[in-house]
Chains A and B, each alone.
Chain A
Amino acid sequence: MASSESAVTSVAAAGTSGVAAAQICAVPASAPLPVPDPALLADLWRASGSASWGLAEPECDRILIEAGTAANYGLAPGAPATAHQQSAFFRALCLADLVLARACADGSQTAWRHFIETYRQPLLRAAIAITGSDSLGRDLADQLYADLYGLATREGVRRSPLASYRGRGSLIAWLRTTLAQRHVDRYRRTHREIPLDGVEPRASDPPQTFPAKLSLLEQSVESALRLQGGEDRFLLAAYFLDGQTLLQIARTLAVHEATVSRRLQRATVEIRAQILKNLMQCGLSRRAAEETLTADPRDLDINLKKLLQHSQSHSFHGQADS
């Protein structure tokens, strides 16, 4: 990617957006930002309707460049983005929602009025639908509104979660996801606090002796599950562990229910075949391997949840970067 000096040179040479060039020139050299085409930025500024919320063109350009840099224009980390890829990324953004969110985060009253008129009722309905309760839904929505308005401050600076919105999806989807995240986190936090009165100490299980075949079967199952791809593991976890329906999974993946069903069936068949293969590689005949597969699952010491959802050793972004 071009350095800050070359970026300044290119923008100054273009000479079409002096204010934007000045803004970009203000970027410190320690955080170089790729400079898109100024004509493209000007076109995006006009198309986004930023003027309605009082956002000047340099501010809009800065928001766009930040959004593109944060996602590396949808490319793998470290991969340089061409001008065409930058243009495609910017065109795919929900620009109107993005500038509205940024205007609200900056405290524009006009933007807030529009935000309230547009999203208040849908957000309340979404909160009620997520929580399954009218009161909990209203509480959740009101708390989110307070946070979005920027009542929370950090180091004396008003901060709004809307400032983290970068326009990759629609604003209503972002708000819904935020509601869902808050509800899940609250549920998990409160249900961690289990009273001890009703809990009896669990007696330790008697030591069990497993035949050698069962031990082989455990190893084969673990190996087969680890070989599955991310999407297949997501399908298996969502269907068998979370108990989601085919329709819910299909909506999440934007495919048909039948497609989800076929993929699930294919995944289970592949896992079974892989287990058989692993057992045969361990020295069992095919017949013996098939007999081993008929073992009672209760005799196995396999935690499928642990296998499918083994904790990550490092962060999501660190994993992505690796």
Chain B
Amino acid sequence: MTATFQPGTHSGRAHPDPAHPDIESLSAFAEQALSEHERSRLLAHLAVCPRCRQIVALAHQPVEEEIQLVAAAPPISSPPQPNPQHHSRPWWRNPWLVTAAPLAALAASATFVLYVHQARIERDVQLARNSAPAVTSQVESPTATPQPETGRPAPPPSLLPPSPPRVAADSKTFRTESRREFQSANPSASPEPAAAPTVMPPPAPVPPAATQTVTVASAPSTVETVQPSQDSELSRLDSSQPSPLSKSEPLRTATSRQQMQSAQQQAVQNSAHQNSAHIDGLQSVAGIATAQSEPLAAKAASSNASSAAGAAPTVSNSSFAAATAAMPRFGTFAGASGSAQSAVVDRHIHLPSNRPAASVASAEPLMLSLDSAGALFLSRDSGSTWQPITAQWTGRAVLVRVVLISSFPAPAAAAEAKSVPGAASAHPPTFFEVLNDQNQIWRSTDGVTWLAK
């Protein structure tokens, strides 16, 4: 820097040189404290005066300690006043602003999500308060129960500790979402009772086929698949496979969406003569008809058979609950003959919990119904009065059904039927089964006492 100094005519006098601006102006220029008029004057002088340029450049060399000194000792503690002479840094050059803007947006988004989530929880809690407290206290929340590990056998009901009555907000939220998802997917479906209850017609005669698709409801998107009678079905029924969903998974995977639609159309065409039809072709049915929602079926159909069979136990709770929540429309069907009735969820069923029935199964004179919270109710008078059943299973019950072995009872199944106390001997062995959200099954013949399968 000093090498650029040129011999000049300026002397080093202490008094101000009239040819140059005074030190006050130069220092104020270095600190941007001059007015615009003074600054332009000084710049014009600096443009032609190497001496003053050198002075300004040298005086402006940053010395950290000095900067800290100036910053630590503000010149005046007067009230803040607008300083028109000071060229402050514009607000858009503030580096904190660059950081603060996305943070503010993120905070706003998080606040909004939290608000929506909180409002949803409050709404569900309010809904739970409006429901019958006695029923709520008796029917435990399945999600509050510790979940058994997958693959480990469930403890017997006698060893299960009674779960404290509580309302699980998360499960309610989850159910609400499932219900909303269902309602959005099916605008016609509503938990309120409809004017005309959906009456499920008797199953139509189905020609024997390896895979039979039978439409059991008149809803356009309602498709229910029934596995035809096969001897292997009995063994599969009593096999260690815990999930009926996994049993029907090959069927679902084999049933493509197109097949479902064609079956739908066929069902609409045949709906006129379905009332008097019987399942003559299904003489040896260990029929398990599992209602499934269209998204679940489509999801299963989109995957190949092998992967779907393995993926069945890992069906997420949300998908499963969505399917369960959709059941009031599609119904839970126990395709059988004899005294067991095909049951659909009647929208006129008013459970003590004031929740919509998610799954209904009936074998006269008993009728079982699961509400959307997973609480089970028993009716001995075909749905007129209901009594809550204490949960004897783990997890959250998502499905209740009737398993009827009519013609060709397998030895194992018959023995198991006889071993169940209270099983009616006059009728073909009939079981009620409750399926929890972990694909574990509990059986009962009277709807009151449940044993793990």
A binds B: yes
Count, chain B residues at interface, CB 8 A: 70
Closest to A67 in B: B24
Interface positions, chain A 127-177, Cβ under 8 Å from B, are 129-130, 132, 147, 152, 161, 164-170, 172-174, 176-177
Query: Residue on A with the closest CB to B22?
Result: A164
The answer to whether B61 touches A189 (Cβ under 8 A) is: no
CA of A152 to CA of B48, assembled, Å: 32
B77: nearest chain-A partner, CB-CB: A47
Contact B77 A184 (CB under 8 A): no
A-B contacts counted at CB < 8 A amount to: 226
Residue in A88, A164, A311, A312 whose beta carbon sits within 8 Å of that of B85 in the complex: A88
Residue of A nearest to B7 (CB): A192
* B32 close to A (CB within 8 Å): yes
User: Taking the complex as formed, is B43 at the interface, i.e. its CB lies under 8 A from any CB of chain A?
Assistant: yes
Q: Is B70 an interface residue (CB 8 A)?
A: yes
A126 to B60, CA, bound (A): 10
Bound-state Cα–Cα, A122 to B63, Å = 8
User: Per a CB cutoff under 8 Å, which of B50, B69, B83 touches A122?
Assistant: B69
Q: Do A309 and B54 form a contact, CB below 8 Å, given A161-B14, A180-B59? A: no
Report how far A294 CA is from B63 CA in the complex, Å.
44
Report yes or no: A152 in contact with B14, Cβ–Cβ below 8 A.
Answer: yes
Question: B389 at the A/B interface (Cβ < 8 Å)?
Answer: no
A238 and B57 contact, CB distance less than 8 A: yes
Cα–Cα distance between A170 and B69 once the two chains are bound (Å): 11
CB of A242 within 8 A of chain B? yes
Residue of A nearest to B49 (CB): A309
Contacts of A94 in B (CB 8 A): 75-76
A87 interface hit (Cβ, 8 Å): yes
B-side binding surface: helix, strand, loop or mixed?
loop
Please indicate which of the listed interface residues A87, A192, A254, A315 has the most CB atoms of chain B within 10 Å of its own CB: A254
A108 to chain B, nearest CB (A): 18
| A214, CB-defined interface residue at 8 Å | no
Query: Does A66 touch B at the CB level, under 8 Å?
Result: no
B2 close to A132 (CB less than 8 A): yes
Smallest Cβ-Cβ distance to B62: which chain A residue = A251
Q: Are B18 and A316 in contact (CB under 8 A)?
A: yes
Residue of B nearest to A234 (CB): B47
Determine whether the beta carbon of B63 is less than 8 Å from that of A316: no
Tell me the complex Cα distance, A74–B25, Å. 11
> Interface-forming stretch among B34-42, B115-123, B161-169, B229-237?
B34-42
Residues of the A chain whose Cβ atoms lie less than 8 Å from the Cβ of B55: 177, 180-181, 184
Q: Note all chain A residues with C-beta closer than 8 A to B160.
A: none
Asked if B11 CB lies within 8 Å of chain A CBs, one says yes
Is B200 on the interface with A (CB-CB < 8 A)?
A: no
Q: Identify which of B4, B19, B28, B54 contacts A316 (C-beta below 8 A).
A: B19
A71→B30 CA distance, assembly (Å): 17
Question: Bound complex: CA of A126 vs CA of B86, how far in Å?
Answer: 24
Contacts of B19 in A (CB 8 A): 312, 315-316
Within B367-411, which residues are at the interface with A (CB < 8 Å)? none
* Any A CB within 8 A of the CB of B350: no
B155 to chain A, nearest CB (A): 72
Task: Decide yes or no whether A185 CB sits under 8 A from chain B.
Answer: yes
A272: Cβ under 8 A from any B Cβ: no
Complex Cα spacing A88 to B33, Å: 12
B53 near A164: Cβ-Cβ < 8 Å? no
Contact B16 A164 (CB under 8 A): yes
Q: How far is the CB of A172 from chain B (nearest CB, A)?
A: 5
- Contact between A47 and B76, CB atoms less than 8 A apart: yes
List which A290-312 residues lie within 8 A (CB) of chain B.
308-312
Known A-B contacts A169-B33, A316-B45; A189 and B12 likewise in contact (beta carbons under 8 Å): yes
Instruction: Tell me if A320 counts as interface (CB < 8 A to partner B).
Output: yes
Q: Given A183-B58, A316-B20, decide whether A230 and B40 contact each other with a Cβ distance below 8 A.
A: yes
Whether A113 sits at the interface, judged by CB under 8 Å, is no
Are A169 and B48 in contact (CB-based, < 8 A)? no
* CB nearest neighbor in A for B61: A129
Q: How large is the interface on A (under 10, 10 to 19, 20 to 34, 35 or more residues)?
A: 35 or more
Cβ of B55 to closest chain A Cβ, rounded Å: 5
Residues from chain B with a CB closer than 8 A to the CB of A76 are 37
Q: Which residues of B contact A188 (CB under 8 A)?
A: 5-8, 10, 12, 51
B59 touches A238 (CB 8 A): no
Given A47-B77, A94-B75, A237-B50, verify A177-B57 contact (CB < 8 Å).
no
Most B-side CB within 10 Å, residue of A87, A165, A170, A237: A170
Answer whether residue B151 sits at the interface, using C-beta atoms and an 8 A cutoff: no
Q: Let me know if B146 is at the binding interface, CB within 8 A.
A: no
C-alpha gap A194/B19 in the complex (Å)? 25
Residues A168 and B25 in contact, CB atoms below 8 Å apart:
yes
Answer yes or no: A96 CB below 8 A from chain B CBs. Answer: yes
In-complex Cβ contact of A184 among B30, B46, B54, B75 (8 A)? B54
Per-residue CB contact flags for chain B residues 244-261 toward chain A (1 = under 8 Å, else 0) read 000000000000000000
* Residues of chain A contacted by B21 (CB below 8 angstroms): 316-317
Question: Is B218 among interface residues, defined by CB-CB distance under 8 A?
Answer: no
Given A95-B78, A122-B66, A252-B57: A187 and B49 interface contact (C-beta under 8 Å): no
Whether B35 and A74, one on each chain, are in contact in the complex, defined by CB atoms closer than 8 angstroms, is: yes
**Residue from the list A169, A233, A319 in contact with B24, Cβ < 8 A:** A169
Residues of A within 8 A of B149 (CB): none
The contact of A320 among B41, B74, B81, by CB within 8 Å, is B41
Told that A126-B66, A170-B70, A252-B56 touch, could you supply 5 new A-B pairs with CB distance under 8 A? Answer: A161-B14, A169-B31, A176-B60, A180-B56, A237-B47
Can you report 30 A-B residue pairs in the complex whose CB atoms are below 8 A from each other?
A: A43-B78, A44-B78, A74-B37, A92-B85, A96-B73, A122-B63, A122-B65, A125-B65, A126-B66, A147-B14, A152-B14, A165-B24, A169-B31, A172-B66, A173-B28, A177-B30, A179-B59, A181-B59, A187-B5, A188-B6, A188-B12, A189-B12, A192-B7, A230-B43, A252-B30, A309-B47, A309-B50, A315-B18, A316-B19, A320-B41
Q: Residues of A at under 8 Å CB distance from B?
A: 43-44, 47-48, 71, 74-76, 87-89, 91-97, 118-119, 121-122, 125-126, 129-130, 132, 147, 152, 161, 164-170, 172-174, 176-189, 191-192, 194, 230-234, 236-238, 241-244, 248, 251-252, 254, 308-312, 315-320
Q: Footprint of A on B, CB under 8 Å?
A: 2, 4-8, 10-14, 16, 18-28, 30-35, 37-38, 40-41, 43-51, 53-63, 65-66, 69-70, 73-78, 81-87
